[in-house]
A and B are shown apart, each in its own frame.
Chain A
Amino acid sequence: MNLARVYGSSLGKKYIMAITGLLLFLFVIVHMLGNLQVYIGRDAMNAYAELLKSKPGLLWTFRTALFIVAVLHIVSALQLAAENRNARPERYAAGKPIATFASRTILVSGLIVLAFIVYHLMHFTLGVTNPEFLELHDSLKRHDVYQMVVDAFRNPWVSAFYIISMGLLCLHLSHGVSSSFQSLGIRRRATAAALNRFAQVAATLIFVGNCSIPLSIYLKVVK
């Protein structure tokens, strides 16, 4: 296996896009499952968060890995996009492109998701936007993640931003996931339709799952 060849070639970069994309996709799912624990209650959620933080070694290897994956994904995305622009400087004067909206806007949706992630980290993890969040502790002196989330989404603007971002993530994945199967050469005539379905269903579930949290908090279903 010649790594220079991998990164040096258009197809190689696409493999990286696809693999990193799928990994991020997995993270988003797992992460969502974790977050859905708000419905079980404060104790479950905080316990889960505590569990994650209990093994710093593991946590940090995971964070680094995730970071590298994200960077690879984003960097190759930007490179590929630049090459594409360069290959096709002018647009056509008439007509509209024959391609799904999701596929045409994959870069934009990606960039907005990126913006979301940055805000999201400042929001919950780094305590930049709301330092007070990190001071919340429950009766067991654990970081009160549950309260943090509830407080956060009481703010309609924050909820709105999350929901919009989820919409774009969903758009991104609805194309991205099926596309990655094509990029990796997994897609075949027989399986094509099924894989597209899968991507759309998965994307929708992520959208519904993630959005339900700010919504139900804002609507006081979760207090």
Chain B
Amino acid sequence: MNLKLRVWRQENSQTPGNFVEYKADDISPDMSFLEMLDIVNEGLIKRGEEPIAFDHDCREGICGTCGMVINGVAHGPLGATTTCQLHMRHFKDGQLITIEPWRARPFPVIKDLVVDRSAFDRIVQAGGYVSARTGGAPDGNAIPIPKPDADLAMDAAACIGCGACVAACKNASAMLFVAAKVSHLNILPQGKPEKNRRVLNMVRAMDEEGFGNCTVMGSCEAVCPKEISLDFISRMNRDYLHALWRSK
């Protein structure tokens, strides 16, 4: 199949960017979206043009490195799928595909489609952990955890930190990511002792990074490659209210 691409090119965070059109010819439907871009880039290099910069690593949908907005949808048209796991069979021959970086003030563009998501790391540093220093942990079976709780925690923990939720949200809100992180630990008995501090500090960090507020639009859930549920946002709102109540 042959495609027309409109790709966002931007030298660096200072210089403004713009769209550039490229042709992607004889693309196989079995290619992944990134493999399609690989081919385009090979062509560019041959022509002496700088290849399109985009982040990727595992290409298995688990590391959360890849991510671009494809025809206005973060990670592209296929639900519950990262860009690297999206295959060309989901596009039509001759289609025009517009490719943009995540857009959000807390995610400044580094180059072309590469953005800086370090804000997520700083949010986790603010409290996204259980303070269990190495050694001296009780036996793994000392505290039984009801299967439903363990499963729910796992649902939240499945978040790969890709940032698509922020990219999709009209308010560039990071609520889904933060809620997933908070819930994963707050649900488990191991996370209980730091429950309140955790949610208070992580929300503070989230606000300080300049993410928007959640007006419950649900776009984040719709694009999340790991299908993280809005329920976790509700749960975090609950945890936060409870923590506020307790806080002095």
Contacts and interface: CB of A to CB of B under 8 A. Distances in A.
Instruction: Note whether A and B form a binding pair.
Output: yes
Interface of A: 1-2, 5-6, 9-15, 80, 83-84, 86-100, 103-104, 106, 175, 178-179, 181-189, 192
B170 A12 contact: no
Contacts of A92: 69, 72, 100, 103
B211 A87 contact: yes
A186 B230 CA distance: 12
B210 A179 contact: no
A198 to B, nearest CB: 15
Most buried by A among B169, B173, B204, B237: B237
B103 A103 contact: no
A15 B72 CA distance: 31
A88 B103 contact: yes
B231 A89 contact: no
Interface string B105-127: 11000000000000000000000
Contacts of A98: 73, 168, 218-219, 222-223
Interface in B177-235: 200, 203-204, 206-207, 210-219, 222-223, 229-231, 233-235
A179 B234 CA distance: 10
Given A93-B72, A185-B241, 20 more contacts: A1-B247, A9-B204, A10-B206, A10-B207, A11-B236, A11-B241, A14-B237, A83-B212, A87-B104, A91-B103, A98-B223, A99-B170, A100-B217, A182-B216, A182-B234, A183-B214, A186-B238, A187-B231, A187-B234, A188-B234
A99 B172 contact: no
Contact of A14 (B69, B105, B213, B231): B213
Most buried by A among B168, B214, B233: B214
B169 to A, nearest CB: 7
A84 B234 contact: no
Interface residues of B, number: 51
Given A92-B100, A94-B98, A10 B203 contact: yes
B1 interface: no
Nearest to B103: A90
A94 B72 contact: yes
Contacts of B45: none
A184 B214 CA distance: 12
Contacts of B72: 92-97
Most buried by A among B105, B170, B248: B170
Nearest to A1: B245
Contact of A89 (B105, B214, B237): B105
Listed from nearest, the 3 A-B pairs whose CB atoms lie closest are A95-B72, A185-B238, A87-B212
Given A87-B212, A184-B237, A95 B73 contact: yes
A176 to B, nearest CB: 9
